[in-house]
Homo-oligomer: A and B are copies of this chain.
């Protein structure tokens, strides 16, 4: 792997690995590899032995869970510059979710065993990882009170506002993923999502063109959630 590629620069600049010395970073790179995935291609299955964690360079990765009953739930959609499966490293062996690419995707796979060894010797890196996991936990806690306290419409609005890039004019969100995936991510059925979108469109709060959602009145939407 070329250490000067923009990919690697992206990884190096991210929060987690910024604590590393030059030689430590080289060391991590020596045990990392870049994977290129076609749309729909899997990264790992739920229950697989977990050997790596990942950083997304480009594309979108879906993290999903299949309940014993067969029902499926999208847990997260991971976009570029984010890590995933880094908590599974400590969970004792198997991935609790499956991961697959939703579109053409490039990611870095980092070796768990090697990274764990590095962690032992680097308190700063440890603290950063602890901080990362804490933030992720906080996100999950928010998710839980979203699910219990808010309606489907409120969750959708909250999600859209989260995805909204800073200072985009007009304020708009590019979904990039099939709507039924968004629906599962929000814990609702595709039909319900469709109805909510129709209702918001009727109230002139949003416009929908292809996969693009334009938020006409961000202030009003914010008041909603």
Residues of A within 8 A of B (CB): 65, 67, 69, 71, 73, 75, 87-91, 96-97, 116, 119-124, 126-127, 129-131, 133-138, 140-141, 143-145, 147-149, 187
Contact = CB atoms under 8 A, between A and B. Distances in A.
Given A126-B126, A187-B148, A141 B69 contact: no
- Identical copies of this chain, number: 2
Given A120-B126, A129-B130, A148-B187, 17 more contacts: A65-B141, A67-B149, A89-B130, A90-B131, A90-B133, A91-B131, A116-B127, A119-B126, A120-B123, A121-B123, A126-B126, A133-B137, A136-B137, A137-B137, A140-B140, A140-B144, A144-B147
Contacts of A124: 120
Contacts of A140: 137, 140-141, 144
17 contacts: A65-B141, A65-B145, A67-B145, A69-B149, A75-B141, A89-B134, A90-B133, A96-B141, A119-B123, A123-B126, A126-B130, A129-B130, A133-B137, A136-B137, A137-B140, A144-B147, A147-B187
